Amino acid sequence: MHISFDHVSYIYQPNSPFEHRALEDLTFSIESGSFVAVIGHTGSGKSTLIQHLNGLLQPTEGVIHIGDYTLKAGEKNKHLRELREKVGVVFQYPEHQLFEETVAKDIAFGPQNFGVDQKEIDRRINEAVKATKLPEALLDRSPFDLSGGQMRRVAISGVLAMEPKVLVLDEPTAGLDPSGQKQIMDMFYDLHKEKELTTVLVTHSMEDALSYADYILIMNHGKLYREGTPLELFQQEDVLEAVQLDVPEVIAFLTKAKKEYGINLEYKGQSLAELAKELAHQLRGGSDHE
Amino acid sequence: MEERQVEFRNVSFRYQEDMPWVLKNVNFTIGPDEWVAIIGHNGSGKSTIAKLMNGLLFPQEGEVYVGGTKVNADTVWDVRKQVGMVFQNPDNQFVGTTVRDDVAFGMENHGMPRDLMVNRIQQSLKAVRMEKFERHEPHRLSGGQKQRIAIAGVLAVSPEFIILDEATAMLDPKGRKEIMQTVSDVQQERDLSLITITHDLQEVTMASRVIVMNGGEIWMEGSPRDVFSKKDHLTEIGLDTPFVSKMADHLKKEGVRLSREPLNHQELLEDLCISRSTM
């Protein structure tokens, strides 16, 4: 689903002493089927932005298009239910939202609310737990008896069981160990490709933004600060640093190598093994200009 | 026994009798002014260690000593004066209606005089760079800001041990660095030991000692350099190694000779330059 923001602003508690402009005049679009990372330091407006994607918040000014749906400032939106069926949101620490007696019931809760019949729900539960690699034996257990990592997978399964077209991920790997983080991100990436989803990932990990995203939006003080492909944006260390963001470590390393040690290697998305090979070649006195 | 240290003696713990042991016969000592990082995959027992240190849990077997006092139901309130703790999720650790009230909460519990409290509130908010937010409502702050307030609240009580239980997991990269810098400054200025439970490898390299947990047991103990030089084994137990460590490995495979396990970019690049001149 194609997503576009047209001069969108959002103000928390307008006309009160607590008035706070969280989004300011945002205009951008997200191509259908793309994987977009939204980055920005804490408080830059990322979470406010994504809460508009399923109509949890309505713009104070401007218009948002999500597929055929329109969210417009000052208008009551009648089709939120349909929108929420299409846009699945994995919030931060989604396991805090588990509440049912069993894992299966928790996963079924979303589709049930939207009137999906039981047979179809069962099929979806099976598919969701397969995707998240939850052992089927856990389906009848209480979600509260599971480990943190497993609870996270249950919560994510619940979102997947809605079979959304747009997947919105708000720091989905926060608090997981490194191998758990990689598993979850790889899983989302596979689903993104397989189901041709439009994926919006809010992340603090520049490494994840570099590895998974086709396109990046950088937020700062509620405004769109920069947008572009990971390779374009991450080469500009000073631009990122100005808004308290880092470049991915591999790029920081290569920049330092060039500046302080005269080792000239351009980053074009190589793997570490490939970089090591090029680096070793240079150290032996070989260069690109032979 | 040495004062101002935390000691685990043959500690075993499980949550219920029919549940598996979460910690199995764990022994270690954390001395004064030490910075110890505890790492391990989810479920390896890291957080249980933290909860045993300030009496949120008591071991079924073995003993935990804090500052020479055995942690039990009678001593837990004294122990908590010495052990400050910051948890992962900032939303679960707020009590005050304003930032200053929240920072004051711990001190009020310890019955500190008002003048001292006012002073400490300002000092600790300054240490976490939140001095402008003294009158703000905590629930309106972002996750990272909340966490800085939580750290300020702990600093204000001036404990001898601070445990950060994945306290930076929700912060942005710069926020993380700021907090770690703050914590590191405080650790050097005041006499306190720091225990960081973390998945962040950068944080691990800042510690003086690392305890690696696996399946409820201490799997390895050593300096960050020692630990990361065993990277094949770390991967086996679901842990990651820092970028420089991986890069060093790939370079070695390409026949580049390195003199030591690098802990940061600088160390690796210096080594590369030496190897360039000899190749």
- Residues facing residue A187 across a β-bridge: none
Q: pLDDT tens digit string along B259-274? A: 888 988 999 999 888 8
B43 touches chain A (CB under 8 A): yes
| Pairing state between β A223-228 and A215-220 | antiparallel
What was the pLDDT predicted at B2?
56
In this predicted model, which residue has the larger pLDDT, A93 or B64? B64
Q: Which of A147, A178, A244 sits opposite B43 (nearest CB)?
A: A147
Q: Give the one of B199, B243, B251 whose C-beta lies nearest to A279's C-beta.
A: B251
| Region for residue B39 given its phi and psi (left: phi exceeds 0; alpha: psi -120 to 50; beta: otherwise) | beta
Q: Give SS3 for B130.
A: coil
Which DSSP letter does residue B109 get?
H
Question: In which band, very low, low, confident or very high, does the pLDDT at B173 lie, cut at 50, 70 and 90?
Answer: confident
Q: How far apart are CA A173 and CA A149, in angstroms?
A: 10
Q: What domains does chain A contain, in order, with CATH numbers?
A: 31-42+80-243 (3.40.50.300), 248-284 (no CATH)
Whether complex ipTM tops 0.85: no
Q: Do B272 and A283 touch (CB under 8 A)?
A: yes
Residue B165: closest CA among B14, B77, B48, B26: B48
> At B278, is the pLDDT very low, low, confident or very high (cuts 50, 70, 90)?
low
Which string of DSSP letters, residue by residue, matches chain A?
Answer: --EEEEEEEEEESTTSTT-EEEEEEEEEEE-TT-EEEEE--TTSSHHHHHHTTTTSS--SEEEEEETTEEEETTS--S-HHHHHHHEEEE-SSGGGG--SSSHHHHHHHHHHHTT--HHHHHHHHHHHHHHHT--GGGGGS-GGGS-HHHHHHHHHHHHHTT--SEEEEESTTTT--HHHHHHHHHHHHHHHHHTT-EEEEE-S-HHHHHHH-SEEEEEETTEEEEEE-HHHHHT-HHHHHTTT-PPPHHHHHHHHHHHHH------SS--HHHHHHHHHHHHTT--TT-
What's the CA gap between A258 and A261, in Å, rounded?
A: 6
Q: Does B89 touch chain A (CB under 8 A)?
A: yes
Mutate to test the interface with B, among A204, A207, A246, A271 (most CBs of B within 10 A): A204
CB contact under 8 A, A272 and B246: yes
Contact between A3 and A168 under an 8 Å Cβ cutoff? The reply is no
Q: Which of A118-122, B1-5, B275-279 has the lowest mean pLDDT?
A: B275-279
Portion of chain B with pLDDT greater than 90, in percent: 41
Question: Tell me: the pLDDT tens digits for B101-112?
Answer: 999 988 888 888
Would you call B20 an interface residue with chain A, using a CB distance cutoff of 8 Å?
no
Burial B50-70 (b: 16+ CB within 10 A, else e): bbbbbbebebeebebbbbebe
B272 CB within 8 Å of a chain A CB: yes
Nearest to A85 by CA among A170, A162, A154: A162
Q: What are phi and psi of B165, to 5 degrees?
A: -95, 90
Joined tokens for residue A264: 């000239």
Q: Do residues A231 and A247 lie in contact, with contact meaning Cβ atoms separated by under 8 Å?
A: no
Is B19 within 8 Å of chain A by CB? no
B143 has a chain A CB within 8 A of its CB: yes
Task: Confirm if A64 and A79 have CB atoms less than 8 A apart.
Answer: no
What's the pLDDT tens digit per position in B128-139? 888 899 999 888
CATH number corresponding to B6-223: 3.40.50.300
∠ CA B26-B31-B37, rounded to 5° = 65
Q: Is the pLDDT of residue B275 over 80?
A: no
d(CA A227, CA A241): 15
Locate the domains of chain B by residue range: 6-223
Q: Which residues of A touch B172 (CB under 8 A)?
A: 40-42, 204, 244-245
Q: Provide the pLDDT confidence category of residue A180 given band limits of 50, 70 and 90.
A: confident
Residue B267: which of B224, B214, B209 has the closest Cα?
B224
Between chains, do A244 and B276 touch, taking CB under 8 Å as contact? no
Mean local confidence (pLDDT), B169-191: 77
Torsion of CA A51, A52, A57, A62, to 10 degrees: 150
Q: What integer pLDDT is reported at residue B130 of this predicted model?
A: 86
For residue A276, which residues of chain B lie inside 8 Å, CB to CB?
247, 250-251, 253-254, 256
- The residue-averaged pLDDT of B67-89 equals 89
User: In what order do the strands lie in the sheet containing B209-214?
Assistant: B83-86, B161-165, B193-197, B35-39, B209-214, B217-222
Whether residue B257 lies within 8 A of chain A, CB to CB, comes out as no
- Residue B70 in 3-state DSSP? strand
Helix-, strand-, coil-residue percentages of chain B, each rounded to 5: 45, 20, 35
